[in-house]
Amino acid sequence: MELVVMESPAFDVASFVSSLNLASFAVLRGAQRQVCTHCGSRKMIYCDKCQRLLVGRDEVPSLELPLQVHIFKHIAERSSKSSVIPLAFLCPNSVTITTCMPNDKAIPAYSPADTVLIFPSPGARLLQDLSEVEFTAIRRVVVIDSTWGQTTSMVSSAHLQSLPALRLQDYTTIFWRQQSESKDFLSTVEALYYFLREYVTEQQKRGLRTEAYHGELDNLLWHFVYTYELIQGEYKSGRKKGKTFKKDPEYIQEER
């Protein structure tokens, strides 16, 4: 008998993006550059240096996350390129972003009893592998925001080494700043989004939540998806006629 290996279906980017429950992009599309009154930089929507919103609070979605999120951004990672800076105003009560050096004193000592690190280190487990006691004890999640080449130095911090590491299930990135590792290597905001989706799904499976996930975390990707669609539109509209996306010519999704 011949063994037939079934391949996993290809990731359908268009279906994924269209399935998200996102707030209107109207304020993003109508944005004009303005001066940040705190640092003097000219920015649109928000100042990445100060993590300050530059448009009306009512025009931007706001989320309360099921866990507190502490993000440590490598000092060499430019804020203008970071995928997580918008979380400072999308989730102001749930997300803290700190820029620091590896092994910096800015990384505090957390209790491994209620804090987990999202990182695919050897021995990292999936949420579903945690015991009931371990799972229900989680109050805080720590995330590293850096290039993949900088992660080794970041996780060398003794305070991060002491935390239980959790990895994600397999996902495909739609980040435009692609690295050379793999399309399974996510941007920081994608990793956080998928982790929290897994978390609330696992809550339901364990009887700790009555409702199935219904898109309440999707606006974590609000600014991220807007930028993704803006880049797609720039290349497909002809405004970049004759040019292909530098790192991956197949990145631009052709109309079906």
Q: How many CA within 13 A on the CB side of residue 212?
A: 0
Question: Domain boundaries in the chain?
Answer: 33-61, 63-235
Please tell me the predicted confidence (pLDDT) of residue 21. Answer: 96
pTM reported for the whole predicted model: 0.90
Torsion angle, alpha carbons of 141, 224, 90, 127, to 10 = -20
Q: What is the pLDDT of residues 109-153, one digit of tens each?
A: 999 999 999 999 999 999 999 999 999 999 999 999 988 788 888
> Residues 213-222: pLDDT tens digits?
999 999 999 9
Count Cβ neighbours within 10 Å for each residue of 152-185 and write b for 16 or more, e otherwise.
Answer: eebbebebbeebebbbbeebebbbbebeeeeeeb
pLDDT (mean) for 144-167: 89
Radius of gyration of the chain (CA): 19
How many residues are there in the chain? 256
Q: Determine the pLDDT at residue 206.
A: 96
Question: E strands of the chain, at which residues?
Answer: 34-35, 42-43, 46-47, 52-53, 68-74, 95-100, 115-118, 140-145, 165-166
User: What pLDDT is recorded for position 241?
Assistant: 62
Distances 139 to 53, 80, 115, 120, 142 between C-alpha atoms, Å:
27, 29, 6, 20, 10
For residue 246, name the pLDDT band (cuts at 50, 70, 90): low
Q: Is 129 left (phi over 0), alpha (psi -120 to 50) or beta?
A: alpha
pLDDT at 68 over 70: yes
